[in-house]
């Protein structure tokens, strides 16, 4: 049967899609199936399937095949053009265009586009925009058919076209491995499927090289490694493509000759780096050595010590003022922020300049709140953009003292850029909790630098009385020591024992949306759900979707837009997950969706700092919803109330002490863990593997 898409109802991660359909001259109905992947409101489809009864949705069509067809009737054409699929045309303009051209509308746009100016309110600029969007939509539709022939998700067509444009089909046909790393959502598996079905031989050097590079880059993205041991790389690549190790070694030698990878000795074994990671690690070690060996330019003179400082806080101040590079670390409640405030105040009193920074906007804001001093993100500091505040130097990266809080979040890329920007003679103070999770990106910068003997460091261990009364801080210190917290808890830390993952998820959702807001007389937005896993019953995807549907459900009077399995609605809380310097937004900041504009194919946000931002529909991979986020995403942030599931799903692969410790220390007033006692024990017991890095060795080798 033929029908047009009225609205998407649900899209699952595996692309199973439910949509509300309208049939010409018949009643509306619900269609469901993975064959519907990638459909958009306004499209006309030819569907094959069977009618079935569903407990929730009633009678619906279980779709087994779906073909996009050009709408031919006036109502279908009007719905197609007014749906937002074609940028520049909204419902009102669609009515005018179809009213003028009738059933010939799409033929006119395709073959006689200049005639669009016959319609009122369409000038040369709008006409060019419509034609460009029309051609793009046609190209993407053709690309979808090509991908379906390779048994690849049609959802990737728009992403491929966004990168390669009119060259997309040629790239797919001649060099599909180029897609890896350039098109989001395409890794080696998808590119390899396209290549093999296109006739690329299994032993092709092109294929083997792509597999080697994929294993190296996946190790960085998946586990934060900067390199892989040669034996591990050969084994993983052989398993991935089922080829002989001798063949893989020859391709690795070719990659080395092409300078795409670096092979070197490390701790008695041969290791392999991606070229980019190797260059950054070498550069970071050199920059750190430059700062360590520099003569201080800080205008040091006698100063008054704050009598409220503890002995180890005074030691930290002395090191920060006398050493060009130093580290201040310690757990919660030990006074790191108060120490930073005292150090910054002393430097300013001596006539020096100070910049306080943190890796994310949330962490910078929290640093400012805790110290009472202005702070900025490292990215803004590196862009030399200081707020209009005399407390910042004109060039923040060139201050006499630069303090970087939440230093455990620094990855190899950001740390390299940071140190390269600091002038010789300036002081760098890294502040962080070395027991928290390492960065999302490759490297373990803070932990590596703590292993460098030449770098001065102080660990604060004294827990101040007021902080010591907090059940959260007591639990955190027990977890850090490998001990189970007192259960069920007290003073802001609570553990609710629930066994079934389904019951855990429902209890977490109820606590976050109903129980805690009602008890504390707050909005649900002040309760943050943190999940150890992304997938599964208790992962961010499932729990986040349910919370979104309860707090901000679909409304017929408001537009929404589906991007993959995520739907964006006005009122949604979202977070950029990639830095965008053109938009001036950075990973970890939070914002609220203020408008969804199908006609312009974009959504509007307002950041928590009041900054308006626009994201095109083709940029929404850069955003994630905040209803439930991973513990990694919460690094550097603090929330009044935190609720988290803790279950032994997927063999407890994510249950690690650092993760649990980081989770618990994100809460200011309450943290409620819901789940299995065995999962809690496992998380406390398991330390997790160490990342493969060479920074400590490189810095040590450069010392006199």
591-597 β-sheet, strand order: 612-616, 602-607, 591-597, 573-576, 623-625
Residues near 113 by beta carbon (within 8 Å), at least 6 away in sequence = 127, 130, 131, 134
Q: Give the span between the Cα atoms of 180 and 187, in whole angstroms.
A: 5
In 87-238, DSSP assigns E strands to 228-229
Asked if 281 contacts 306 with a C-beta cutoff of 8 angstroms, the reply is no
Asked if 425 contacts 324 with a C-beta cutoff of 8 angstroms, the reply is yes
Q: Degrees (nearest 5) of the Cα angle 613, 617, 620?
A: 70
- Going by C-alpha positions, the residue among 380, 418, 404 that lies closest to residue 584 is 380
Query: How many residues appear in the chain?
Result: 704
Residues near 635 by beta carbon (within 8 Å), at least 6 away in sequence = 360, 363, 406, 408, 409, 436, 437, 440, 588, 662
- Going by C-alpha positions, the residue among 4, 37, 2 that lies closest to residue 18 is 37
- Residues 24, 29, 33, 38, CA torsion sign: positive
Asked if 689 contacts 223 with a C-beta cutoff of 8 angstroms, the reply is yes
R_g (Cα) of the chain, nearest Å: 28
Angle between helices 156-164 and 124-149 (to 10 degrees): 120
SS3 annotation, 190-217 = HHHHHHHHCCCCCCCHHHHHHHHHHHHH
Pull the structure tokens for residue 292: 């360590």
Binding-site residue ranges: 333-337
CB neighbour burial string for 641-671, b if at least 16 within 10 angstroms, e if fewer: bbbbbbbbbeebebbbbbbbbbbbbbbebbb
Q: Give the span between the Cα atoms of 437 and 665, in whole angstroms.
A: 11
- Going by C-alpha positions, the residue among 324, 497, 518 that lies closest to residue 423 is 324
Q: Give the span between the Cα atoms of 121 and 83, in whole angstroms.
A: 19
Q: Degrees (nearest 5) of the Cα angle 145, 146, 148?
A: 65
- Residues forming beta bridges with residue 60, ordered by sequence position: 30, 52
Binding-site residue ranges for ATP: 333-337
């Amino acid at each position: 049967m033929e029908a047009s898409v009225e609205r998407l109802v649900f899209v699952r991660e595996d692309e199973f899609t439910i949509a509300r359909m309208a049939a010409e001259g018949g009643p509306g109905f619900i269609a469901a199936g993975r064959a519907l992947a990638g459909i958009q409101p306004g499209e006309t489809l030819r569907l094959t399937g069977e009618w079935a009864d569903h407990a929730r949705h009633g009678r619906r069509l279980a779709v087994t095949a779906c073909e996009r067809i050009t709408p031919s009737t006036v109502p279908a054409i009007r719905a197609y053009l007014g749906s937002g699929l074609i940028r520049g045309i909204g419902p009102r303009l669609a009515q005018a265009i179809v009213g003028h051209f009738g059933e010939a509308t799409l033929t006119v746009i395709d073959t006689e586009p200049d005639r669009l100016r016959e319609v009122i309110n369409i000038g040369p600029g709008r006409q060019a925009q419509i034609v460009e969007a029309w051609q793009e939509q046609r190209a993407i539709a053709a690309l979808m058919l090509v991908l379906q022939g390779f048994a690849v998700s049609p959802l990737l067509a728009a992403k491929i076209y966004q990168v390669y444009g009119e060259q997309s089909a040629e790239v797919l046909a001649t060099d599909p491995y180029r897609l890896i790393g350039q098109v989001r959502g395409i890794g080696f598996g998808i590119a390899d499927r396209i290549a093999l079905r296109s006739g690329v031989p299994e032993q092709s050097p092109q294929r083997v090289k792509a597999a080697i590079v994929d294993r190296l880059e996946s190790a960085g993205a998946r586990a934060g490694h900067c390199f892989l041991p040669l034996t591990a790389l050969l084994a993983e690549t052989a398993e991935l493509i089922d080829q002989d190790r001798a063949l893989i070694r020859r391709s690795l030698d070719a990659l080395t000759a092409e300078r795409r990878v670096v092979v070197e000795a490390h701790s008695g074994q041969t290791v392999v780096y991606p070229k980019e990671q190797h260059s950054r690690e070498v550069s970071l070690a050199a920059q750190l050595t430059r700062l360590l060996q520099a003569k201080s330019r800080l205008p040091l003179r006698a100063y008054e010590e704050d009598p409220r400082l503890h002995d180890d806080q005074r030691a930290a101040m002395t090191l920060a003022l006398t050493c060009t590079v130093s580290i201040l670390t310690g757990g919660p409640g030990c006074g790191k922020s108060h120490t930073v405030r005292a150090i910054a105040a002393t430097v300013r009193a001596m006539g020096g300049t100070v910049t306080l920074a943190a890796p994310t906007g949330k962490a910078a804001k929290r640093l400012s709140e805790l110290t009472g001093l202005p702070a900025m993100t490292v990215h803004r500091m590196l862009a030399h953009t200081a707020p209009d505040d005399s407390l910042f130097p004109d060039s923040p990266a060139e201050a006499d003292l630069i303090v970087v809080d939440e230093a455990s979040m620094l990855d190899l890329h950001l740390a390299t850029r940071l140190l390269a920007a600091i002038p010789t003679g300036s002081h760098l103070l890294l502040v962080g909790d070395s027991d928290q999770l390492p960065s999302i990106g490759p490297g373990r910068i803070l932990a590596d630098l703590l292993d460098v003997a030449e770098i001065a460091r102080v660990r604060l261990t004294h827990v101040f009385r007021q902080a010591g009364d907090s059940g959260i801080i007591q639990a955190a210190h027990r977890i850090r020591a490998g001990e189970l917290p007192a259960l069920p808890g007290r003073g802001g830390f609570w553990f609710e024992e629930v066994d079934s993952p389904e019951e855990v998820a429902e209890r977490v959702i109820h606590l976050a949306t109903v129980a805690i807001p009602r008890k504390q007389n707050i909005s649900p937005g002040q309760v943050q759900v943190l999940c150890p896993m992304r997938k599964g019953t208790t992962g961010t995807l499932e729990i986040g979707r349910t919370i979104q549907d309860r707090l901000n459900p679909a409304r017929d009077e408001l537009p929404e837009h589906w991007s993959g399995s995520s739907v964006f609605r006005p009122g949604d809380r979202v977070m950029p997950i990639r830095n965008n310097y053109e938009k001036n937004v950075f990973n970890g900041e939070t914002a609220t969706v203020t408008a969804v504009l199908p006609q312009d194919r974009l959504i509007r946000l307002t950041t928590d700092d009041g900054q308006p931002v626009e994201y095109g529909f083709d940029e929404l991979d850069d955003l994630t919803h905040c209803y439930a986020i991973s513990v990694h995403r919460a690094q550097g942030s603090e929330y009044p109330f935190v609720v988290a599931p803790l279950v032994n799903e997927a063999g407890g692969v994510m249950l690690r002490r650092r993760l649990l410790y980081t989770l618990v220390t994100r809460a200011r007033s309450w943290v409620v863990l819901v789940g299995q006692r065995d999962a809690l024990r496992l998380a406390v017991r398991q330390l997790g593997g160490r990342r493969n890095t060479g920074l400590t060795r490189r810095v040590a080798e450069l010392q006199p």
